[in-house]
Structure 1
Amino acid sequence: MEIFKFGGASVKDAEGVKNLANIVRDYKNGELLIVISAMGKITNKLEELNYAYLNQSENAHSIFEEVKHFHFDIIEALFEGKHNPVYDDVANTFVEIDWLLEDEPDNDPDYIYDQIVSIGEVVSTKIVAAWLNETGNKTLWADARNYIKTDNTYREGKVDWDKTNAIIQKELKPLLAQNIIVTQGFIGGTSENYTTTLGREGSDYSAAIFASCLDANALTIWKDVPGVLNADPKWFDETEKIDQLSYHDAIELTYYGATVIHPKTIKPLQNKGIPLFVRSFITPEGNGTAITKENNPLPVPSFIFKVNQALISIFPKDYSFIIEENLSNIFDLFHKHRVKINTMLNSAISFSVSVDDNEEKISKLIDALSAQFTIKYNKNLELVTIRYYNQQTIDRVAVDKDILLEVKSRHTCQMVMKDKNTNR
């Protein structure tokens, strides 16, 4: 059996849903479970709704009406006037949010986020499952919250692998013998049956969880690119597709910020030796990229850009060394404020890190660090990571840039840079 994962771009409209059904129709290799994200940019819109609701903004209801109309337009385009039961099913799902919006927020904001934003995946999968059935593919909709069990860390649910594996093996696996299963990415459920999410863009991770627990033969992630490219086309005019990647290189690239695969996706697959294929839903006949245990170096350097970076430099107030005790305190504060370090460098009396510039988190973190340390802070920076670098590749990305921090290992070079014409 195999797992297919389709992201929001693949189901952004009725034509996308039809294309997905065509890909499924052509699948001939046995049992199939399909993991699907929210449609198009709906997660962004639901995050906007969540923000408006928490701030009791007047436009919360109008944002939600946009979300509803978007989905009902797709349903009407698919079923062309036929009143398929999915219309009422989706309407009833949206009622849960209507009820929530009627009351003032009185719960943990992260909990509220998960209840609102998770609706995108629930609705998209109901629409896709209905269309697959309409087109002759015997399909069963399954609620991922019943199978992927997490703790109560809202917005970043930690998977209980033992519970999840037991439930999937006992309750979900038998259903695959008679049906194509359609389920959600990104979401899970607690032991009290509350909805959690697995972290932004976590649908790939969901697919890997199902693949691991079902001992799948393969996981295929369908994207709008022909496979894993050595650079993001929005940064480079010329890119090359990488035909084969090792698990090791894939983990490195995703950790450093390559967006084609979610960082948590690889490990569950590597543990079971399950190959991951990245293929194009635009040209499904292409071979894409295979990610396997074969440990071959990349044939070309790979470039990863992360913008909107902040460089935080930390100095002891008494000019003592940055030693283990100081580092322990620093890492504790980063963990407490949920700030992920993208790269770091320490010297005798300083410790510098590059992080995503989330203004709210960073402001609180710097306040906490300032109680013990002197802090310097730069914004509006870029982090460039080159896997299998050489001096030519470094020179290529450093044109008209000031390099504020550089970290090199045997195969990887990371540089925090700013434009030379930027004063900050």
Structure 2
Amino acid sequence: MIINKFGGASIKDLQALEQMVSICKTQIHQGVIVVSAMGKMTNLLEMLTINYVNGQPFETFLNEFVSFHQTFLNKLFEPNHLVFSHFQELIHTLETKLSKKPGLNFDFEYDQIVPFGELVSSRIVHAYQNLKGVQSQWVDIRNVLKTDATYREGNVDWVLTTGLVSKQFNNFSGQLYLTQGFIGSDRNGLMTTLGREGSDFTAAILANCLDAEKVVVWKDVPGIMCADPDWIPNADKIEKLSYTDAIELSYYGAKVIHPKTIKPLQNKSIPLQVRSFYDLENQGTLIAAFDNLVLAPVYIKKEKQVLVSIRPNDLSFIMEENLSHIFGILAKHQIRVNLMQNSAISFSITVDTNMDRVPNAIEELKKHYEVKYNEPLELITIRHHKPDAERLVTVNREVLLEQRSRSVARFVLR
């Protein structure tokens, strides 16, 4: 069994959807297809959620969400097609949710709204595939992918999920299944999500549970590149990556792979292939148990970073108990640290800008420490770094913080 994952760019418009169906016809005959929300629908639903929770008008976002998909449906299907009924049912459920007063937990509200992007897209893609002769079975992933109640960062219940997945996807010989990425549910049936861009992780979870032969992630890039070509135009494609290098790159912020994707595959030696959605002759990048690969420098840029510097109010040393307390506050607000550095009297961290979590964490830290912060910044990571590689990214930039090890150099830049 092979797990194929198609991201939002792969189904963003009619041309992309036609290309996806063509790939399914010629290259995918059994296994599981995982799809994301179409185009930028996740971003749209995030804005809707922010306004909904803050008591601001959200109808414009809702209308745009409905209109975008309605246009798709009208162009692809006859008016009496069953997919219209599925679509209206999902929109009714979403509108019912939005008619109620929001709770105080933003992350919970997020997970009850944003997954509708995947639910709607999977219905449309499934119906269109079947219309074009690619027969598949639609599966509601919420029934089988179970997490705890950590909303927006659901932790997978592997024992329960493995049993449910094995039972649901039980026809390995010739059945093609289509399901949603990014989402799951807790033990109470409430929707959860796996973290932004979590559809790759969904594919890896299914592959692990089903002992899949391979995972193929279809992207609008040739494969995993040494850098974002929009940033460094002459960036080369990486042909092969070890699991370890892939984990490192995703941890540091490489956008092609979700950070949690690799480990479930590595645990069962399942290869991951990142392929071009448009260039089918290109085999992309293969991630597997490779040893002794020699790689050129790889550049990773994370934008919208906040550098937070923390020091005791009495200028005493930063001790273990201070660090434990600081990390307790960060964990409470579900903030992931991208880089950390400490001196005798201060502790600095770099984190993603987050409109609700970071300000709240800073306010709590200020009750106990002197806190200063700078934003917006960039965090540049160079794996397999060399002096000329460092100069390429730091020239004419203000370096606020830098950190080096044998294989990695990192810079916080303004």
1:272 counterpart (252, 265, 268): 268
Contact 1:248 1:295 in 2 (8 A): no
> SS state of the match for residue 137, structure 2?
strand
Residue 72 (structure 2) pairs with residue 84 (structure 1): no
Contact 2:31 2:174 in 1 (8 A): no
Offset from partner CA, 1:187-214 (integer Å, 9 cap, x none): 0011111111111111111110001101
> SS state of the match for residue 27, structure 2?
coil
Offset from partner CA, 1:247-306 (integer Å, 9 cap, x none): 111111111111011000000000010000000111122110000110334521110111
Task: State the match for 1:16 in structure 2.
Answer: 16
Task: State the match for 1:246 in structure 2.
Answer: 242
> SS state of the match for residue 398, structure 2?
strand
Residue 49 (structure 2) pairs with residue 50 (structure 1): yes
2:328 counterpart (332, 336, 339): 332
Q: Distance in 2 between matches of 1:52 and 1:349?
A: 40
Q: How does 1:256-267 map to 2 (within 5 A)?
A: 256-267=252-263
Residue 112 (structure 2) pairs with residue 112 (structure 1): no
Residue identity over aligned pairs, in percent, reads 45
Q: Distance in 1 between matches of 2:241 and 2:411?
A: 23
> SS state of the match for residue 272, structure 1?
coil
1:406–1:142: structure 2 CA closer, same or farther, 3 Å change rule?
same
Task: State the match for 2:4 in structure 1.
Answer: 4
> SS state of the match for residue 131, structure 1?
helix
Gaps of 5+ in 1: 419-424
Contact 1:86 1:127 in 2 (8 A): yes
Task: State the match for 1:422 in structure 2.
Answer: none
1:91–1:175: structure 2 CA closer, same or farther, 3 Å change rule?
farther
Task: State the match for 1:320 in structure 2.
Answer: 316
Q: Distance in 2 between matches of 1:370 and 1:48?
A: 29
Contact 1:186 1:205 in 2 (8 A): yes
Name the amino acid aligned to 1:312: V
1:106 Cα shift?
A: 4.1
Gaps of 5+ in 2: none
Name the amino acid aligned to 1:340: R
Q: Distance in 1 between matches of 2:146 and 2:230?
A: 37
Contact 1:303 1:386 in 2 (8 A): yes
Contact 1:2 1:31 in 2 (8 A): yes
Worse overlay, 266-275 or 318-327: 318-327
> SS state of the match for residue 338, structure 2?
strand
Contact 1:217 1:274 in 2 (8 A): yes
Residue 397 (structure 2) pairs with residue 398 (structure 1): no
Q: Distance in 1 between matches of 2:118 and 2:26?
A: 24
Name the amino acid aligned to 1:50: T
Contact 1:342 1:355 in 2 (8 A): yes
Offset from partner CA, 1:158-208 (integer Å, 9 cap, x none): 110000001111x22324445210000000011111111111111111110
1:309 Cα shift?
A: 1.4
RMSD: 1.5
> SS state of the match for residue 228, structure 1?
coil
Task: State the match for 2:30 in structure 1.
Answer: 31
1:109–1:334: structure 2 CA closer, same or farther, 3 Å change rule?
closer
Task: State the match for 1:154 in structure 2.
Answer: 151
Name the amino acid aligned to 1:84: H
Task: State the match for 1:421 in structure 2.
Answer: none
Offset from partner CA, 1:392-420 (integer Å, 9 cap, x none): 111111111121111111100001111xx
Q: Distance in 1 between matches of 2:209 and 2:136?
A: 20
Q: Distance in 2 between matches of 1:73 and 1:341?
A: 41
1:109–1:354: structure 2 CA closer, same or farther, 3 Å change rule?
closer
Q: Distance in 2 between matches of 1:90 and 1:403?
A: 50
Offset from partner CA, 1:321-360 (integer Å, 9 cap, x none): 2222111111111111211111111122221111112243
Give TM-score, length-normalised by structure 2. Answer: 0.96
Contact 2:379 2:411 in 1 (8 A): yes
Q: Distance in 1 between matches of 2:244 and 2:349?
A: 24
Task: State the match for 1:414 in structure 2.
Answer: 410
Residue 165 (structure 2) pairs with residue 168 (structure 1): yes
Name the amino acid aligned to 1:268: P
Name the amino acid aligned to 2:342: N
Aligned residues: 414
